[in-house]
Amino acid sequence: MRCPSCGDETTRVIDTRVSREGDEIRRRRTCEECGRRFTTRERCELQLPKIIKADKRREEFDRSKLLKGITLACVKRPVSVDATERLVDRLEGWLHETGQREVDSREIGDRVMRELRVLDRMAAIRFASVYQSFDTADDYAAFMASFDVSSEEGF
């Protein structure tokens, strides 16, 4: 590791600690040349697949964008912040486990709706209204008809 002060590569680790979450290692180092101390952090880098949007554009997976959409669907509903974050964690884990380089956004939306349906049916309906671009009351009515008779596996 190169010293940020003098640029010398002879540094020594004087303390190592694992973060509370267990996903990062913090190391205190000292430079053998100038004696300055500094901290480095090591973290595992996960490669998530690109998301294929409805218009065929490819985007990087954006956790904050997904969390924002789910959080908006849950506004004024009895769904905790922890529950929404766990939902996004499960989705991220699933994306990583697929091993695919690209995943269709429709797959992600369907999965979110299934999970939201278990958490809060109204939040699932709100999410669906944006995700499926409802324009009229008929769109809502058709969705609600399928929502009530659909299985737990999908809509």
pLDDT tens for each residue of 64-113: 899 999 999 999 999 999 899 999 989 988 998 888 899 999 899 889 98
* Distance of alpha carbon 146 from alpha carbon 155, whole angstroms: 7
What is the token pair recorded at 124?
């699932």
Backbone φ and ψ for 36, nearest 5 degrees, come out as -70, 150
pLDDT tens for each residue of 21-65: 777 899 999 999 999 999 998 877 677 899 999 899 999 988 889
Could you tell me which of 45, 151, 47, 60 has the C-alpha nearest to residue 105? 60
Structural domain includes residue 4: no
Q: How many folded domains does the chain comprise?
A: 2
What is the token pair recorded at 33?
């040349």
Same domain? 57 vs 39? no
Q: Which comes out higher in pLDDT, residue 83 or 19?
A: 83
Q: Beginning with the edge strand found earlier in the chain, give each strand of the sheet holding 58-59 in spatial order.
A: 58-59, 50-52, 102-104
Structural domain includes residue 5: no
pLDDT at 135: 80
Q: What percent of the chain has pLDDT over 70?
A: 93
C-alpha distance across the termini of the chain, in Å: 52
Mean pLDDT of 109-130: 87
Same domain? 111 vs 73? yes
Structural domain includes residue 2: no
Alpha helices by DSSP H, 5-80: 63-73
Whole-prediction pTM: 0.62
Same domain? 66 vs 18? no
What is the token pair recorded at 28?
């205190």
